[in-house]
Amino acid sequence: MTDPGTTNVHSAPAPSPQRAPGAGGGAAPARRWVPPLFDAGWLLLVPGIVIVALMVLLPAVEDLERARFYRDRARLAEQHAQARLANHDEYLAALKRGDEGVIRSLAATQLNKAPAGMQLLRPEGEISTESAAIYDRLEPPALVLNEYQRSYSTLEKLALGERTRLWGIGLGALLIFAGLLPGSRD
């Protein structure tokens, strides 16, 4: 019985049951696909991931090392400034308590007068080894700050170059893409 609102569609014949191998009949059984033990896509995927990781991480490591170098350099400058400040504080405290050596040195340097019993110039014309200038003793030794220098490997040069890094990331992405493509099922 058919419903007048529906159309009559010819149905496809029911599929025939699979025949067991060796049973008489003409059709060969359908082959089941068995995945290979090792997918060759891994040979492209892993190097692609490594290349992209290196192109991203090596510049970050370089930036970190450079930041640590300049941090250490700033610490040295701060320690030098703290030593200088401590020397000047000590001199000011000696001046406030009226230390005799400080008063003599100030009289000799600022007023251009030698205290009694002290000669700034010796009779032979040589300058006394006991300098009256106190300011040289207030300053700590001059601070020498090194510049950042480092030798780079070829891989680091490639990863740190602006254009070569982009090419490396592109190559890595291409390898990752090729490694993710499905294999042939033939």
- Estimate to the nearest angstrom the gap between the alpha carbon of 20 and the chain centroid: 66
Burial class (CB in 10 A: 0-12, 13-18, 19+), 91: middle
Provide DSSP, 135-149.
HHHHSPPPP--PPP-
Helix axes of 100-110 and 42-96: crossing angle, nearest 10 degrees: 90
Tokens 């040289």 sit on residue = 136
Give the count of beta carbons closer than 10 Å to the beta carbon of residue 175.
20
Question: Would you place residue 129 in the very low, low, confident or very high pLDDT band (cuts 50, 70, 90)?
Answer: very low
The pLDDT tens digits of the residues spanning 54-112 come to 999 999 999 999 999 999 999 999 999 999 999 889 888 888 888 877 777 777 766 66
Task: Pull the structure tokens for residue 4.
Answer: 């007048």
Residues 6+ apart with CB under 8 A from 33: 185
Task: Pull the structure tokens for residue 10.
Answer: 């010819």
Q: Is the pTM of this model over 0.85?
A: no
The pLDDT tens digits of the residues spanning 7-40 come to 555 555 555 555 555 555 567 778 887 777 788 8
